[in-house]
Amino acid sequence: MKIAMVGSGYVGLVSGACFADFGHEVVCIDKDQSKIDALHQGIMPIYEPGLDALVESNVGAGRLSFTTSLAEGIAGASAIFIAVGTPSRRGDGHADLTYVHEVAREIGANLSGEAVVVTKSTVPVGTGDEVERILQASGTPHRFAVVSNPEFLREGAAIGDFKRPDRIVIGTEDDFGREVMREVYRPLFLNESPILFTSRRTSELIKYAANAFLATKITFINEMADLCEKVGANVQDVSRGIGMDNRIGPKFLHAGPGYGGSCFPKDTLALLKTAEDYDSPTRIVEAVVKVNDSRKRAMGRKVLDALGGAEAGRGKKAALLGLTFKPNTDDMRDSPAIAVAQTLIDAGVEVAAYDPEGMELARPLMPEVTMCENPYQAIADADVVAIVTEWDAFRALDLDRVKQLAKAPVLVDLRNIYDPEDLRARGFTYAGVGRG
């Protein structure tokens, strides 16, 4: 089967490469000529473990190609995926559907045969209806169906998530759409990956509901961490204690500096806007958004406290280890590190930082932060060292070297990756999150 993937960013490129690896013929389409030129040279526009090798092997096998021409790319395709960005719209937080609608109009003008048009982008409820109206208005004589197929990929583990998914959600009431999508996912269906067929609107809401629930779990355990610090409890034990309950589960119960990235921040805002439009308030999600926004600055104040407070911190140096919102990605979108660094800078603290993959994207977002070549260069002469992102590279730091380089052996562990007793036995002043 030929598949066209319109949009060659994170979702489109990973999905396209994985579909090609299943044996489909895939064309990834993007208007950004520089991105397509780079892909032709084997240069990935994002950092995702294993993606470069996956793309290279499927390009070499002739199953994966790239173009800037939508008309060329969709010609003969049985399934055309829309995988363009839907960023938060300025002013109201609603998902900006400009790119989705533009692609739908272009597909309608260039459709050369029957095809299923699939919204892979994260879109609000009712977007599929509008895409269908746009295609109908184009006057295309060819049969088509519009299907919702949300992605559930974790950055840093996206290839595994695509190939071994918890579930595949397909929203359609159209027999043609159902038939084509079964063929698209036949390799996974044979591996008994569960496929959930729903209405199109239900499928669109599932994506937002899933992300909002996970954001709620993160925010809940972060509030429990604050309470643990007040009452002298350990949030990691609390997480284990409640996570053993099958009704709750252990995932997304790790206390830290708050959620960030490309999905949770914009998707919770978009869900709030949809709920407002339909006069169905989502008070829990409203609270989650507010608490998470304030938490990032609070983590900056935690680092300041380790310096003796805002006044005492002026003129001192802080080393931040990790800048991306999570490990194994270069994604800086809504990363807690941005707010942590800015809080320190506002208090007159000099900030040096190191991240294994994110510094190129971090530089324009954090112009006052000194980017370093390795963690030890950042730590040199620091009055406090803060672990902001739990990259594996930071889990086994040479602590003797850290003590030797730093001006003071003070470690603020915003991801709880070190043992407090071990650090204190080595002469460190240690502060974790929720380990009262």
* In a shared domain, residues 49 and 193: yes
* In a shared domain, residues 225 and 254: yes
CATH of the domain at 273: 1.10.1040.10
Nearest-CA neighbor of 221 among 267, 261, 256? 256
Q: Which of 289, 312, 329 is the last residue of a domain?
A: 289
pLDDT in tens, the chain (436 residues): 999 999 999 999 999 999 999 999 999 999 999 999 999 999 999 999 999 999 999 999 999 999 999 999 999 999 999 999 999 887 678 899 999 999 999 999 999 999 999 999 999 999 999 999 999 999 999 999 999 999 999 999 999 999 999 999 999 999 999 999 999 999 997 778 899 999 999 999 999 999 999 999 999 999 999 999 999 999 999 999 999 999 999 999 999 999 999 899 999 999 999 999 999 999 999 999 999 999 999 999 999 999 999 999 999 999 999 999 999 999 999 999 999 999 999 999 999 999 999 999 999 999 999 999 999 999 999 999 999 999 999 999 999 999 999 999 999 999 999 999 999 999 999 999 999 7
Collapsing DSSP states into helix, strand and coil, what is residue 161? helix
Task: For the chain, state the CA radius of gyration.
Answer: 24
Please provide residue 14's backbone torsions phi and psi, each rounded to the nearest 5 degrees: -65, -45
Nearest-CA neighbor of 116 among 162, 183, 163? 183
* In a shared domain, residues 301 and 354: yes
* In a shared domain, residues 250 and 378: no
Which residue has 């184009």 as its token pair? 138
The answer to whether residue 76 is domain-embedded is yes
Which residue has 């998902």 as its token pair? 95
Spatial contact of 404 and 382, defined as CB atoms under 8 Å apart: no
Q: Rounded distance, CA 313 to CA 367, Å?
A: 20
> At a CB cut-off of 8 Å and minimum separation 6, what does 238 contact?
221, 224, 228, 434
Q: Kindly report the length of the chain.
A: 436
Helices marked H in 148-282 — which ranges?
A: 158-163, 175-184, 186-190, 200-231, 235-243, 264-277
* In a shared domain, residues 126 and 62: yes
Where are any strands of DSSP class E within 234-364? Answer: 317-321, 350-354
Catalytic residues: 263
Spatial contact of 183 and 236, defined as CB atoms under 8 Å apart: no
Q: Which of 254, 289, 324 is the last residue of a domain?
A: 289
For residue 120, the model assigns a pLDDT of 97
- CA distances to 116, 301, 327, 379, 435 from 18, in Å: 19, 43, 22, 40, 41
CATH of the domain at 148: 3.40.50.720
* In a shared domain, residues 41 and 172: yes
**Overall number of domains in the chain:** 3
Q: Which amino acid is at 114?
A: E
For residue 252, the model assigns a pLDDT of 96
* In a shared domain, residues 182 and 230: no
* In a shared domain, residues 228 and 327: no
Which residues is 26 bridged to in the sheet? 3, 64
H or E element at residue 305: helix 283-306
Q: Rounded distance, CA 57 to CA 60, Å?
A: 5
Please provide residue 12's backbone torsions phi and psi, each rounded to the nearest 5 degrees: -65, -45
For residue 89, the model assigns a pLDDT of 84
Q: Rounded distance, CA 424 to CA 215, Å?
A: 33
* In a shared domain, residues 266 and 339: no
The answer to whether residue 203 is domain-embedded is no
Q: Which of 143, 174, 198 is the last residue of a domain?
A: 198
Angle subtended at Cα 220 by Cα 219 and Cα 223, rounded to the nearest 5 degrees = 85
Q: The domain containing residue 410 runs over which residues? A: 295-431
* In a shared domain, residues 316 and 192: no
* In a shared domain, residues 174 and 249: no
Q: Which amino acid is at 420?
A: P
pTM (predicted TM-score): 0.93
The answer to whether residue 436 is domain-embedded is no
* In a shared domain, residues 87 and 228: no
